[in-house]
Chain A
Amino acid sequence: MSGSVLYDAPGPRTRRIERIASIGVAILLLAVLAWVFKGMVDRGLFDSRWEVFSDPPKGQSAADVWRSLLVVGLGATLRAAATAAPLAFALAIILAVLRTSRLRLVSGLATAVIELLRGLPVLLMMFFGQLALGLTAFEAVIFGLVLYNAAIVAEIIRAGLAALPKGQVEAGTAVGLTRWQTLRIVQLPQVLRLMLPSLISQFVVLLKDTSLGFIVGYQELLRMMQLNYSFFGDQYRFPLFVVVLSIYLIVNFTLTRVAIIVDRRLAERGQRADKLDPNAVVAVPHNIGRDQSASAP
């Protein structure tokens, strides 16, 4: 591994040793994996129970099972995410703009709201919507997701505003735009493009958080999985879990892939924010702008 800060560039002898050790470790790991797999086979985890996806019992058809997971379950998950994301985004822009307000009271209030929302669990906000405001399960899920993600995205946008070169605002002022016009015409379009990769990563977080609907009683993918195994029987828990996990991984990997591609496109055009930690749960880009000149080609 050349170019590492931890090791010297390896010579031919070290490289040979590394290759042998690497293969040794790989064999060891495969042995462990095979042992685990064998244990699972011995417990009968790979028997006919997988037929639930091709020829399920109790008079159901394979199409019924797949429809309940992909159309009803994944559909409800995506619907919650697709409803919450634009609302959260709109609220985030409002919060971010208010936070940069010149009025101390307004910016202080916006800061307090953002800090408050960032410091609370999403699940608590969902319960708040459900128990204190009397919302339905779906509305409560949306309520929690919107409030929490608005605070996070507001921080992302604020970091983007701070990362823009000062000259942009000055140019806007120089051609006679008001502060609001500068924000709308000059700053925000650049910031949103700059922050698109972080925004997509945050959307993955939001999508994952829709699964909290399972706890507040919203019928999303996980609940549909549970309904399926309660209907078919306990031996079907494992196969259903594997399939649901795969669905989540496929959807999230695709989105992450899109974020990486967008990031690379932006880098090629020389418009990229300093590399942010893309998937951190608390996606607050602290170090933005510090390295701005270094990432521009």
Chain B
Amino acid sequence: MDSVIEALPRFWDGFTTTLFLAVVSGVLSLVFGTILATFRVSPLKSLRIVGATIVEIGRNTPLTLVFIFFVFILPSMGYILPLGRVPAIIALTVYTSAFVCEAVRSGINSVSVGQAEAARAIGLGSTQTLSLVVLPQALRTVVPPLINVLIALTKNTSVAAGFAVVELTATGRGLARDYPADVLWMLLGVAFFYLLITIPAGTLAGYIERKVVFSR
């Protein structure tokens, strides 16, 4: 147990790295995912096809393979990336964007057409229809699944441990090697730090979901 306290600075370093990866790629995937979602609901058929193709490929490719592409394959093709966090953030963003897109799209689709028709019927213009009727409803539906996607992203940052980024999971592996007598405690310590992020976030998602639930 003493060794856990001794190792606290390393836990903290790992935790901040995990948090850094999760926040940066989280923000980036929210941006790119939303752009992808606008592709998928666009009136232009070619954009819809492109959006659907990207999302389907993204969702059906293992994250490890995305990491391998940016760490091992791309450099061999002559496109050199800096090592460490940069390819990890790119891989996590590429992978997560597809899931963000689907969450946003299903939020938009969950608003029934009748709502927009009613808005038009009482004389609202398209901007007003969107900002006063459609988006407020879509946003409420979309927040809990988005939080779930971000929780999944936080857990997925662990894959970076296999690609030369010392985040929480890699820290745990290193500590297990350095303190062979306390492997169990070291890994439980790592688990604690993950739960520190994922459980409050999950509770928040559940709370918002109950708060904004409304009947259609």
List the interface of chain A (C-beta within 8 A of B): 1, 3-8, 10, 18, 21-23, 25-26, 29, 40, 43, 45, 115-116, 118-124, 127-128, 131-132, 204, 208-212, 214-215, 222, 225-226, 234-235, 237-238, 241, 244-245, 248-249, 252-253, 256, 277, 279-282, 284, 286, 291
Q: Is B116 an interface residue (CB 8 A)?
A: yes
Q: Is B162 an interface residue (CB 8 A)?
A: yes
Can you name 6 A-B pairs with beta carbons within 8 Å? Answer: A5-B111, A5-B115, A5-B116, A118-B202, A131-B187, A208-B60
Q: Are B113 and A249 in contact (CB under 8 A)?
A: no
Stretch at the interface among B2-10, B26-34, B191-199: B191-199
- Residue-by-residue, is B118-143 near A (CB-CB < 8 Å gives 1, otherwise 0)? 00100000100010001000000000
Which residues of A lie under 8 Å from residue B198 when comparing CB positions? 118-120
Q: Is B90 an interface residue (CB 8 A)?
A: no
Q: Are B126 and A120 in contact (CB under 8 A)?
A: no
Distance between Cα atoms of A10 and B44 in the complex (Å): 12
B113 contact from A3, A115, A127, Cβ within 8 A: A3
A21-B44, A123-B159, A124-B194 given; A7·B61 CB < 8 A: no
Which residues of B lie under 8 Å from residue A43 when comparing CB positions? 77-78
Give the size of the chain B interface in residues (CB under 8 angstroms). 68
Distance between Cα atoms of A120 and B157 in the complex (Å): 11
List the interface of chain B (C-beta within 8 A of A): 41, 43-47, 50, 56-57, 59-65, 68-69, 72-73, 76-78, 99, 102-103, 106, 108-109, 111-113, 115-116, 120, 126, 130, 134, 144-145, 148-149, 151-152, 155-159, 161-162, 168-169, 172-173, 176, 183-184, 187, 190-191, 194-195, 198-199, 202, 209, 216
